[in-house]
């Protein structure tokens, strides 16, 4: 019997795979204005940059520190090459940065620094009187009391169940007195309260203290 030889051909295909999510955009955005280290900038401030060669959208951030741990503005999905920040504080150093996103991925950040104009001075925040920090066994109806501030036109009072003031019990504007009685507080629960003052120029920073 004649032997039959069988031959097998194996085709090996080497495939180089790449996870598109790990691909970085080749170039970072070019910022236009304000210039780096610009001073005397208005508290309503437009920002602009050069359009990237291939762009889908931009992400824009402002912070009061260089590591952006304390961010005051974070906008994503911007399709234009300009955006505006409103109600910045006078005499304050800020950092802003921009990244671009497209089908390739997300670019590195472009970052700059600026300082706002002196303008009118912000009023000092009110000094809170009662309840004192860390007080316990407060009644479920309590009077929140703070010192008056010279040249104040009104106060804003916030009561929250967390120190970040994301879970507000109430947020009251236009208070002209320095005392507010709150009722029906939950028993065995921590509260935090803040007061800011409105003057002819601007709002103060918040004062905050736990009930």
For the chain, what is the mean pLDDT? 80
CA atoms within 13 A on the CB side of 161: 8
**62-70 average pLDDT score:** 94
Nearest C-alpha neighbor of 90 from the set 44, 46, 38: 44
CA 138 vs CA 23, 145, 183, 184: distances in Å: 57, 14, 11, 12
What pLDDT is recorded for position 110?
97
What pLDDT is recorded for position 72?
92
**Is 62 exposed, middle or buried (CB count within 10 Å of its CB: 0-12, 13-18, 19+)?**
buried
Rounded to the nearest 10°, the torsion over CA 125, 126, 131, 132 is: 60
What's the rounded Cα separation, in Å, for the pair 31 and 49? 4
User: Which tokens sit at 129?
Assistant: 């009187």
**66-87 average pLDDT score:** 94
Q: Which of 80-94, 101-115, 183-197 has the lowest mean pLDDT?
A: 183-197
What's the rounded Cα separation, in Å, for the pair 82 and 100? 13
**194-207 average pLDDT score:** 64
Helix or strand holding residue 181 (H, E): strand 179-182
Could you tell me if 25 and 106 are in contact, meaning their C-beta atoms sit under 8 angstroms apart? Answer: yes
Each domain of the chain, given as residue ranges in start order, spans 25-116, 128-210
Q: Please say whether the dihedral angle defined by the alpha carbons of residues 128, 133, 136 and 140, taken in this order, is positive or negative.
A: positive
Q: Do 128-210 and 25-116 fall under one CATH topology?
A: yes
Fold of 128-210: Immunoglobulin-like (2.60.40)
CATH of the domain spanning 25-116: 2.60.40.10
What's the rounded Cα separation, in Å, for the pair 45 and 96? 12
- pLDDT tens per residue across span 91-115: 899 999 999 998 888 999 999 999 9
């Amino acid at each position: 019997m004649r032997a039959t030889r069988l031959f097998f051909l194996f085709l090996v295909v080497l495939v180089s795979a790449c996870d598109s999510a790990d691909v970085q955009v080749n170039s970072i955005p070019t910022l236009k204005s304000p210039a780096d280290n610009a001073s005397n900038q208005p508290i309503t401030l437009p920002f602009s940059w050069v359009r990237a060669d291939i762009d889908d959208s931009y992400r824009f951030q402002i912070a009061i520190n260089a590591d952006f741990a304390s961010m005051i503005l974070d906008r994503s999905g911007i399709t234009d090459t300009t955006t505006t920040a409103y109600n910045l504080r006078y005499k304050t150093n800020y950092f802003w940065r921009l990244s671009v996103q497209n089908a390739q991925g997300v670019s590195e950040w472009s970052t700059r620094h600026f300082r706002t104009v002196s303008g009118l001075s912000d009023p000092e925040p009110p000094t809170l009187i009662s309840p004192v920090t860390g007080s316990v066994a407060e009644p479920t109806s309590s009077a929140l009391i703070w010192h008056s501030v010279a040249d104040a036109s009104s106060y804003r009072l916030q009561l929250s169940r967390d120190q970040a003031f994301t879970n507000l019990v109430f947020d009251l504007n236009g208070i002209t007195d320095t005392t507010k009685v709150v009722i029906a507080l939950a028993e065995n629960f921590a509260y935090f309260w803040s007061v800011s003052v409105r003057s002819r120029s601007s709002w103060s920073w918040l004062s905050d203290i736990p009930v």
